Amino acid sequence: MAEIPKRRLGRTGLLVSELGLGAMDTPTAAEGPETLTTALDLGIDFVDTAREYAGSEFLIGQVVRARGEAGFHIATKTFSHGADNSQRDVDRSLSILGVPRVSLYQLHDISTPQAWEEVMAEEGALAGLRVAQYRGLVDHVGISSHSDEVVRRAIERDEFDTVMLEYSAFFPGTSELIDLASEHDVGVIVMRPLGGSGRTSAMRGLISEGYGGPLTPAALLRYVLSHPGVSVAIPGARYPSRIHENVATVQAYEPMGAAERRELERAAAELY
């Protein structure tokens, strides 16, 4: 079985599988533990979670305790905006995950100017994560956002090792931000590479009805990975079958040309 190719996660220097797992919804299915175990068994070595994802850190902790922490990277997040609370979130995460440290801890959904100012203040959440780094609990610090302006600020400030942003054929406009991140050696984690749950469900519904157009989960994943500035894409998965599908896509992956990307963008715009 071919291995999942690895990419460099920006200035962290970590080499991670270009296909990760976004574990927000994984605990919502009874097959959640099997889904996560399947991902790790098939070579996915980057798992993203958050304090706010109900049951997600707990599920990962169960699997860590069963198989050990070696062989994969855990990235989690704090929704707190203050230093004290972000430090407490780090401590809670490590306790639930059952690990002494995590590869990446991120500020979660910093998507307004006010949120940016709060986390970047002297007693803001970023300062708390820096303390956690000093304590040896966190290797690298990142930020997730749904705001292009916040992502741009985060990249240009050179204080974050990674940014998590939305990018897909449904949401192609962030391509320039990915280029900017590459210039600053900031790792890029792509959320919603298949468009997000609503778009993905609509697409799968069309396929089940006989749709034969270009818009497929495999094509969407290829689209994202065809951008050389993307470090890792983290589609969600509740069932092992989705893991197998995504792994098969990256194992057979060939980059998309410009014409194919534009065709997929047009199809995505027509769907949603």
**Whether the predicted model's global pTM rises above the 0.85 cut:** yes
Average pLDDT score over residue span 103-107: 99
- Is pLDDT at 270 greater than 90 in this prediction? no
pLDDT of residue 212: 66
- Is pLDDT at 207 greater than 80 in this prediction? no
- Is pLDDT at 1 greater than 70 in this prediction? no
3-state secondary structure of 189: strand
Exposure on the CB side of residue 102, measured as CA atoms within 13 A: 31
3-state secondary structure of 269: helix
Nearest C-alpha neighbor of 194 from the set 272, 123, 77: 272
pLDDT of residue 272: 65
6 secondary structure, DSSP code: E
| DSSP sequence for 105-155 | EEE----SHHHHHHHHSTTBHHHHHHHHHHTTSEEEEEEE-S-HHHHHHHH
- Is pLDDT at 197 greater than 70 in this prediction? no
Question: Is residue 54 one of the residues assigned to a domain?
Answer: yes
Tokens 């469900």 locate to 201
**What percent of the chain clears pLDDT 90, i.e. is strictly above it?**
89
Per-residue buried b or exposed e for 239-272, using 16+ beta carbons within 10 Å of the residue's own CB: bbebbebbbebbeebeebeeeebebbbebbeebe
Domain tally, the chain: 1
Sign of CA dihedral 168, 216, 47, 27: positive
- Tell me the pLDDT tens digit for each residue of 215-269: 899 999 999 999 999 999 999 999 999 999 999 999 999 999 999 999 999 999 9
Question: Is residue 1 one of the residues assigned to a domain?
Answer: no
- Tell me the pLDDT tens digit for each residue of 37-72: 999 999 999 999 999 999 999 999 999 999 988 899
CATH of residue 12: 3.20.20.100
Radius of gyration for the alpha carbons in the chain, expressed in angstroms and rounded: 18
State the residue range of the domain holding 255.
6-271
Mean pLDDT, rounded, of the chain: 95
- The angle subtended at Cα 102 by Cα 179 and Cα 74, nearest 5°, is 65
Per-residue buried b or exposed e for 148-170, using 16+ beta carbons within 10 Å of the residue's own CB: eebbbbbbeeeebbbbbbbbbbb
4 secondary structure, DSSP code: P
Question: Is residue 235 one of the residues assigned to a domain?
Answer: yes
d(CA 44, CA 33): 14
Question: Is residue 71 one of the residues assigned to a domain?
Answer: yes
Question: Is residue 264 one of the residues assigned to a domain?
Answer: yes
Q: Which element (helix H / strand E) includes 163?
A: strand 162-166
3-state secondary structure of 16: strand
